[in-house]
Structure formats: C-alpha cells, structure tokens
Amino acid sequence: MSSSTKKHSPSEWLRIQSRRAIAAWQRDRLPGLQGGLGDLIIHEALLADEDTGLVYSEYLKEDALDFILSVPKWIYSEKDTLRIEHSRDERVWTTLYEEVKDFYNNPVPDPYPIKLDKNHDQMRLEGTHYFRTWIMNDFGESSTSDSLVLIFDTVPPYKHLPPTPFAPVSAVTDASLAADGDKVTLQLPGHSDWKEGDTAYVYWMNRIPEKFEDLDEYVAEVVTTGKGQPVVIDASIVRAVGDGGVFILYVLVDRAGNVSLLSIYQSVAVALGTLPTVFEDPIVPLAKAEDGYLIDQLDAEAGVEVWVKADVALKSTDLVVVTWQGAELPAETVGSAPGEYIRIRVPDDVLLKEYGSGPGNVATKVSYTLLRGTHPMGGADTDIVVNFETLYPGGPDPEWPLPIHPDATKPVVTGQGSGLRDELDGKDTGLDASLEFKLFSFAQKDDKLFFYWGGEEAGTYTVKETDTPGDSITVDDVPWDTILNVGNHPAVPVYYEVWRSGVPNPVRSVVTEVKVDAIVIKAPDATFDHLNSGAVTCASIQATKDHPDGAAVEVLIPDLSEYLKYGEFSKIRVHWWVYRGRTPVDPEEIIEKVTIEEEVDLDEDHPVTGFTYRIPYATNVLPTYEGSDNPEYTRSRANFEYTILTDEEIPSGVTKVLLAFVPPSGVCDLSR
C-alpha cells in the first residue's frame, strides 16, 4: 500500500492557517452574537458634544483633518461588500463609501477605520445626519447597523457678517475707574441667531487688528445668553494697555467650534494719570507784536511754526492737534521734541489755502487741542494776521512760498579785471564786480531792488520814472569786501529782491550762479617764541631747557578756528628747513639732516585754537653748526611754514629767522 502527501506553497499554507483562525474566532463568537451589526463608531475627539453627536466644525471644513468613522467587527466571509450609507431622514439612504474586503488575504483591524470624502454633497449639508453600515457576504446575505446620529454645524454665529459692536463707552480715566469699582463695564449686544454654548472672547487692544493673527490675548471669556449682558474689564488690564484710542471687539465661538468674524470695533478714549487743567494760548513765533502779529510770505519761506507750552502734567505720549484757521494738522507727539514748547510746523500748502484770495490782511485763528489717547483734555487759541498779497498781479508766485518769479530775470555778473561773464578769477582780485539786469515787466517807479551776493546784501537800485520794462540796467559797485567775505565757491548765488511800498511780500529774481576763484585764502604766519633781538640765540634755547622733552626752538601756531568755514580739517602739515650760512650764496645749500616735514594731528595737546610746535634742539637745531670758525658759517637761516589740510590745502606764509645760538665761547651751555 502506498500513500502520498500533498505539498503546499508558503502562500497557500498562510491562507489555510488564516481560514482556520477565522473559523475558530467565529465558533467562539457565535453563541454571544446579537441580531444586526454593531453601530459605527466616531472618536470622541471629533465631537463637541457626545450627548447630541455635535461634530467639531474643523473636522468638516479643514482639509488637514480627516473625518473618520470606524466599523466594529462583523462575521467575515470570503468576499464581503462593505458600505457606509448616509441619510437625512433614516428613510432614503445613499452610499458614501463602498469596498470589497478579502479578509482572508487582507485582515482588517477592529474596529476598522474608514476616512470619508468630505467633498460629497451630503457631507456639506448643515443639520442632523444619519450614518450606518451595510455589509453583504459572499452568499448575497446582507446586514445593516443601527444609525449613528451626528449633527453638522459649520455656520458661525452671525453667519458670515461681523458681529454688532459693543455699546459706546465713555472716556476711561482714573476717576471713571474709581467710580466703577476699579473696572470698566462693557455692554455686549445680544444676537438673534444665538445658540446655547455660544461664547464671546473679548479683546482690549491699542490697535485695530486686520486679521485673527493680529489679536492680542483675550481679556474676558463670556458664555452668552443671546441678550445684552455686561462684560467686566479689570483696571489692571486697562492700565497695562495704557492710554490711547483703545479698541474693544470680540469674536463668538459656538459649541461646534465655529468662529465668527471679528466684531465691528468700538473705540474707547483712555486717559490715565493726572490731566492738565491750565491751557496757555498757542504761540506763533514769527507773528510778533512789533509787526502786528503778521505772517507774510517771507515768514512762510522761513517756515511757520505753532508752539504749545508743555504742561508738567503732560505725558510724552500725549498728542497735540493744531488747527490753522479751518485746517486741522496731523497730531504731534508731546515727546517728539522735549523742551519748554511742543513745536508744530504748518505746511506751506495749508498756509496758502487758508489765506485764500485775500487781499491784504486776513484775520486767522490758531488753536490746539491736547489729547491723551483719543480723549481731548483741553486747549486754547490765539488770533494772528496773514498777508500773502504780492506785488506781482498774477500771484502767488509759481514757486510759492519762495518769492522767485521768472519774469524777474537773473542778473549777469562781470569781473572788472577779467571781463569774464558770471566768473571771477585772479585778475579780479581786489576789484568790485559789476552787475547787469533787465527790468521786469511789472516794474513801477520807486520799486526798490536789493542785490544779494551769497546771501549778503551787495547793493541797491531804485526804479526811476524814466526806466522802461526791458531796459538793461547796470550796478557797477558790488563791493570787493562782500565778495571777499563770501569767499571762493564754484557757484555763489547772486539775485535781487524787489520791494514796493504797501506790499509786504517781495518778488525775488531767478538766481545766477557765479564761479568765484579770485580770493587767495592764506593761513596766518606762524611766529617764533623767545626771540632775542629778532633771532634765535643761546638765551632762546636756554628758555626752553626745562621742558620734559628738552630744549627746542618753539614756534607758535595761531588760532585756526575761522578756517573751518572752508572745510573740516583735523591735521596740519609743518615744514622746517635751514639754509647754510648767515647770508645767501649761490647756490643756496639746505642742511638736509635737520629738515622736518610731518603732519600734526589737531587734538587735546594741539588744539585748533592754537598751540606751540617744538623743534628739538639736539637733533634739528644744533647740527646746523658744524664747528666752523668762519663767521659766515657760525650762523644759519631757518624757515618755517605750515599748511591746513582741508580738501583744498590752505598754506601759511614762510616765517624766517636767524639761528645765532653760538656764543663767543662756541658752546651754548644749557646747564646755566
């Protein structure tokens, strides 16, 4: 008798083992089975309310979060068809999910989680939803579970409109806080679509948030009643945020986690601390009593300011709002300019607009209001006069408040030595310049012209009855002293102003730029100290022997401060050199070994206001005498000069002195 044993592949063997395990599980489970399938399971993390089945809205709206229902164990067969079905009324059911499970080859966990597609139309509906499991085995026998009841709510309070703002709140001050028991009481409005569990989160901020990410930490959490109700903000919160136009707003969050839009904000004026009680009149410094408190065009060109006295009770964060006639200027922070006064510039366009068409003097009121946050603490006003009337009939001038008008053509400058046009060079040194201009079209007899050279008055001319517009008129005496005082410059501005009696605002000509290179700028010569009959003698050397650095020839560098107007400098270059012999010979011989040429830093020891420069006796003076008894060579001729090191160097002249320090004995004894 023979026998054979069938061999199974590894995969077949695993399937056999799986079937045996399932058969054993079914035998164990069958005695305790109840009718139908187990209900679908939803994890408690998805539920805002387990009793009602209210689902957190974020699991329905956010793509990053999955909506998962889990199927409990069922009696598996070879091929099970699994469906998740959905209904709104438990009568009509639609399939949301379907798959065929081959449990023997691909076992499923218990319970079996299924991620539902939230893009199904049924999943987008608000209200009550019913979910059940439908399973059919490989013999066509099907079973269904009881319904899992869930509530979907994805609509926020107030739907998609911003909630109603808080009721208006009076200004909050130390006094109002004390009167309300050290707190502020707000009134939260009711809302018609209220649902139980709606919660308001209240914000007290010193800025307007544009989006949720801009919100500060909420200061109160209130379960709402649907009707108006008080909300208390403790004084400590008010003080922590401080003064300002504070903004109060809130958001509503329902039990499903739906968040409303930010409410419409309500502004609250907060002004804490001591409030000023005395408000002095504003000052317009350019409107002086001696000119009738007048502001004219030249004042506008200089820059009109309003000054407000800084009261001791003011905080640096308080604001000043100035009103010029009918124009309110932007608020200025008190701490922006520490001092006795807060200074506010009035823009040129405001000055001109508020003057209107004039003509003549226009009474103008200037006032201010002090604010702490948005709370007006008080203010004061004053009256001045404004006159922007101009002698040009088509005014105001195009470049107002500059009185420049194109019809007043620019003057032409001529050097009387060089003959150059709008340029002065070395040939013009020491000479007055001439100036020519064409008489403007609106000229009248007795109009007075003032000519300016680099901002300094340089001559006048009065229009004669015989003068005709368009005439060329020459002024020959632009003073050399004025030219010298203004100095060399590649573009000295030259212009004239026209004044007319009874009209406070002049007209200025177009500017001519004159190249001036006629002035030789020279630093003052240095001088030698301790001279004896005009020479450096042994006595001169002996007078310096007690200096810590030893004996020296001392040179006095003068005060150079005034030369800073030609450009900043921090160094000078000095030059000391000596010619051999008492008198010049041809060729002259320089004693090279004693020459000094170096730069000296201007510092605490060498101030720009003047200092002593020392030429060491042992190394740079004594070697000039080489022991010769020839009378021509017992003495020598020393020279000293310095140069100010600006962008363009400014040299001094050369200071000369005779070195005659060799006495009859031949030796200058420094021990005496």
Q: Is the pLDDT of residue 18 over 60?
A: no
Q: Please count the other Cβ atoms lying within 10 Å of the Cβ belonging to residue 392.
A: 20
Q: What percent of the chain has pLDDT over 70?
A: 94
Among residues 271, 305, 339, which one ends one of the domains? 271
Burial class (CB in 10 A: 0-12, 13-18, 19+), 160: exposed
Asked if residue 9 is part of any domain, the answer here is no
User: Beta strand pairing status for 535-537 and 655-660?
Assistant: parallel
Residue 21 has what pLDDT? Answer: 52
Looking at the structure, do residues 298 and 263 belong to the same domain, yes or no? no
Nearest to 651 by CA among 561, 573, 592: 573
Residues 422, 541, single domain; the answer is no
Residue 262: which region, alpha, beta or left (left: phi > 0; alpha: psi -120 to 50)?
beta
DSSP 188: E
Does residue 391 surpass a pLDDT of 90? no
For residues 34 and 142, state if they share a domain: yes
Cβ neighbour number for residue 6 with a 10 Å cutoff: 5
Q: What is the pTM of this model?
A: 0.56
Tokens of 461: 């001319």
Q: Is residue 6 part of a domain?
A: no
Sign of CA dihedral 21, 25, 26, 28: positive
Contact residues for 260 (Cβ-Cβ < 8 A; gap 6+): 156, 157, 158, 162, 163, 251, 252, 253
Task: Tell me if residue 39 falls in helix, strand or coil.
Answer: coil
**Listed residue (40, 196, 210, 49) closest to 131, CA to CA:** 40
* 133-147, 163-177, 381-395, 538-552: segment of lowest average pLDDT: 381-395
* Domain finish residue from 490, 516, 542: 516
What pLDDT score was predicted for residue 36? 67
Residue 275 C-alpha from the chain's centroid: 30
- Tell me the pLDDT of the chain averaged across its residues: 90
pLDDT digits (tens, 9 = 90+) for 65-121: 999 999 999 999 989 999 999 999 999 999 999 999 998 888 999 999 999 999 899
Residue type at position 117: D
Q: What pLDDT sits at residue 652?
A: 94
- Specify whether 551 is located in the same domain as 475: no
Q: Please check whether residues 20 and 142 belong to one and the same domain.
A: yes
Residue 187 falls inside a structural domain: yes
Intra-chain end-to-end CA distance of the chain, in Å: 151
* pLDDT value at 12 more than 60: no
Same-domain pairing of 183 and 231: yes
Scanning the structure block, which residue is given the tokens 């699991």? 59
pLDDT tops 80 at residue 656: yes
Check residue 16 and give its pLDDT: 46
Here the CATH number for the domain that contains residue 213 is: 2.60.40.10
- Report how far residue 540's alpha carbon sits from residue 663's, in angstroms, rounded to the nearest whole number: 12
The pair of three-digit structure tokens given for residue 269, joined into one six-digit string: 């004026």
> Amino acid identity of 532?
N
Please check whether residue 5 lies inside any domain of the structure. no
Q: Which amino acid is at 662?
A: V
Residues 534 and 511 in one domain: no
Helices marked H in 42-148: 58-61
Contact indicator for 93, 81 with CB cutoff of 8 Å: no
Say whether both 300 and 358 belong to one domain.
Answer: yes
The CA-based angle 48-54-58, given to 5 degrees, is 60
Q: Which two tokens stand for residue 157?
A: 């309070």
Q: Is residue 282 part of a domain?
A: no
Q: What is the CATH number of the domain that holds 482?
A: 2.60.40
Give me the amino acid identity at 249.
L
Rg (C-alpha) for the chain, rounded Å, is: 50
pLDDT tens for 278-293 read 899 999 999 999 999 9
In the listed set 205, 239, 271, which residue is the last one of a domain according to the structure? 271
Task: Say whether both 531 and 512 belong to one domain.
Answer: no
Mean pLDDT of 1-23: 46
As for how many domains the chain has, the answer is: 5
- 238-278 pLDDT, tens per residue? 999 999 889 999 999 999 999 999 999 999 999 999 999 88
Asked if residue 302 belongs to a domain, the reply is yes
- In this predicted structure, the answer to whether residue 26 has a pLDDT above a threshold of 50 is no
Give how far the C-alpha of residue 436 lies from the chain's centroid of Cα atoms, to the nearest Å.
48
Residue 279 lies in a domain: no
Run of H or E residues at 298: helix 297-302
> Cβ atoms within 10 A of the Cβ of 299, count?
24
DSSP collapsed to 3 states, 513-526: EEEECCCCCCECCC
Q: What's the rounded Cα separation, in Å, for the pair 642 and 665?
A: 35
Alpha-carbon distances of 607 from 552, 557, 599, 600, rounded to whole Å: 20, 10, 14, 11
Determine the pLDDT at residue 474.
Answer: 93
Give the integer Cα–Cα distance in Å for 344 and 333: 10
Report whether pLDDT(134) > 90: yes
The pLDDT-based confidence of 516 (bands split at 50, 70, 90) is very high
Query: By the 8 A CB rule, do 90 and 183 touch?
Result: no
Q: Are both 381 and 321 inside the same structural domain?
A: yes
Does some domain include residue 76? yes
Please check whether residues 562 and 600 belong to one and the same domain: yes
* Spatial separation of the C-alpha atoms in residues 170 and 176, rounded to whole Å: 9
Q: What pLDDT is recorded for position 17? A: 54
At residue 34 the predicted structure's pLDDT band, cuts being 50, 70 and 90, is: very low
Segments forming the whole domain that contains residue 92: 16-152
Residue entry with tokens 């004061």: 380
Instruction: Tell me, yes or no, whether 186 and 143 share the same domain.
Output: no
Structure tokens at 256: 């499903």
* Strands lying side by side in the sheet with 472-478: 412-415, 433-438, 472-478
- Establish whether the linkage from the previous residue to 587 is cis, with ω within 30° of 0: yes
450-507 confidence digits (pLDDT tens): 999 999 999 999 999 999 999 999 988 899 999 988 988 999 999 999 999 988 889 9
